[in-house]
Amino acid sequence: MALRNIAIIAHVDHGKTTLVDQLFRQSGTFRANQRVDERAMDREDQERERGITILAKCTSVMWGETRLNIVDTPGHADFGGEVERILSMVDGVLLLVDAAEGPMPQTKFVTQKALAIGLRPIVCINKVDKPDADPDAALDQVFDLFAALEADEDQLDFPVLYGSGREGWMADAPDAGDGSLAPLFDKIVEHVPAPRPQRENKLDEPFTMLPTLQERDQFLGRILTGRIESGRVRMGETIKILSLNGVKAGEARITKLFHYEGLARVPVNEAGAGDIIALAGLETATVSDTLCAPEVEQPLEALPIDPPTLSMTFRVNDSPLAGREGDKLTGRLLRDRLFRQAETDVAIHVAETPERDAYQVAGRGELQLAVLIETLRREGFELSVSRPRTVNKKDPETGEIREPIEDVQVDVDEEHQGTVVEKLSQRKAELVEVKPSGGGKVRLVFSAPSRGLIGYHSEFLTDTRGTGIMHRRYSGYTPYKGPIPGRRNGVLISMENGKAVAYALWNLEDRGVIMVEPGSEVYEGMIIGEHSRPNDLEVNPIKSKKLTNIRAAGKDENVQLTPPRVLSLEDALAYIDDDELLEVTPKSIRLRKRFLKAHERKKESRKAEADVL
């Protein structure tokens, strides 16, 4: 049977997963009367809620006598570790570009990885039915992008298709669609080469495979997915596991062998070089190991993964309200879960810290870490996390501190251009390019340190009245750019334990913005609002109105509160300062000071001042 392995890559919301839905329908994977959810490949709850692909997933469809193994990849740079591993097991990429927006920063991120390892792309200009679509301009931008990424002549001679993934058609011209994806299927079969192991006749060599995806099944245990680089593998065989440095890490017997058909894993008895398969029964192997026949001595080379750029400290929840909502409360459970996450996601690094029951977790960005925290709280964990910090490096030759820097692309209305430039300049960003982007909007391109962007997104939406669009992409490391101003306002800190009272909150509204509702549980050291001035202020949110036997006009006016500011998980992570923590439980998100007692905070403040002097 002929095989083709291809990955679909694109920026967030350019239509990857929707296009895969249509590939399923038109290849006959689904019955005509079968009920299937939209975005069938986004199976995780958070993927459906956020509308993004978080985990790369494999699928397979038949087109004539050819089986197409398709990988749906994340479009967000925070989950780039998934993309980098996936590219090592495909032989071509389908680059999807929005006809109105053109290539975006994260398109560049993934495409750069694909071109660097020699993959030849097929370009699909998607969403040509949008009112503001400009397919020709989008194609010109794609060509310019490839040239800037130093694509070779074969890669620059890419085939182009136009269409609409939602409507289910692709064609050689924007106005030539006939309601079918047949031109896309034919182009994949024609343009994408057969798997490299098959082209190099490696079927008769010893079995080798480099896993690129890892997941866990409650019945089968650990399941590893990857492409067979050489030889054949059969159900029940015993294979060897080699670590990255070639050291034998053990042996294991294959208990289940699968390939992909549509949304399902289908058991098979045998698979050969070039096929993408999943193996069960290998409890000690991970995505960085080589699975091979007993006689193989050299491990396969793995692609380098970009380093993490942000880190946070995850702690066991030690607040006065700990243990009321979650059922996973101990440091041992948190440690095991974090290291298990690091096994399956190579973009996340976990390390022990000198503090008890506290672990350093480093990742690609705020969104990736927020998704991990949300996953933990849904599993029943209670924890507290620190403010995100950038992972800096020291130059071994000069001793100079270097920090991660990002390319930032902003589309804003012209009236908000000055405000955005001013705010980002204060955060040490450098303006690289300004150009019109149509519809009265201006496209601004900045080079900004990652630490300057922490917490900026919500402020950006406020400054642009919700009309601005911002995209970020990790670029590299640059010399440290100096101090950046932090949060301008202090916070209101509860000085008592109990339930917040409407009368007390009403009296505190003049002091700042309230973040809790009447009846909410509060405790000493918990942050209940934002102060209107730069300093922190301790307040009593449980103080009730004193009752007397005197009745007078105006004494019993109704308390009318302004609705509190409710922070989402991502907003709360960006809001907290270095001396604050975010308490996360299955039902609640609370802001608190790291040291709950007032005298402990004063002691720590004096100690910090002494260290500076």
Return mean pLDDT, the chain: 84
Out of 355-369, 402-416, 555-569, 571-585, pick the least confident: 555-569
Residue range 221-252, pLDDT digits in tens: 888 888 999 999 999 999 999 887 778 888 88
Do residue 161 and residue 13 come from a single domain? yes
419 is in an annotated binding site: no
130 is in an annotated binding site: no
Do residue 160 and residue 47 come from a single domain? yes
Which residues are paired to 261 by β-bridges? Answer: 264
User: What is residue 225's DSSP assignment?
Assistant: E
CB atoms within 10 A of CB 482: 7
Out of 61-70, 130-139, 150-159, 604-613, pick the least confident: 604-613
Domain count of the chain?
5
Do residue 470 and residue 384 come from a single domain? no
566 vs 607, residue with greater confidence = 566
Torsion of CA 25, 29, 32, 38, to 10 degrees: -50
245 is in an annotated binding site: no
**Residue with the two structure tokens 């002549």:** 153
17 is in an annotated binding site: yes
Residue range 12-39, pLDDT digits in tens: 777 777 888 788 777 766 555 444 444 4
18 is in an annotated binding site: yes
128 is in an annotated binding site: yes
Do residue 69 and residue 160 come from a single domain? yes
Cα–chain-centroid distance for residue 337?
A: 18
Is 418 a member of any domain?
Answer: yes
Which residues are paired to 128 by β-bridges? Answer: none
463 is in an annotated binding site: no
Do residue 417 and residue 381 come from a single domain? no
Do residue 382 and residue 405 come from a single domain? no
Residue 34: which of 47, 23, 25, 43 has the closest Cα?
25
344 is in an annotated binding site: no
Which range marks the domain in which residue 600 is found? 491-547+561-612
14 is in an annotated binding site: yes
Q: What's the per-residue H, E or C state across 511-543?
A: HEEECCCCCCEECCCEEEEEECCCCCEEECCCC
457 vs 91, residue with greater confidence = 91
126 is in an annotated binding site: yes
Per-residue pLDDT, 394: 86
Domain end position, chosen among 177, 194, 211: 194
Per-residue pLDDT, 51: 57
Q: How far apart are CA 433 and CA 364, in angstroms?
A: 25
> Are 149 and 187 contacting, i.e. CB atoms less than 8 angstroms apart?
no
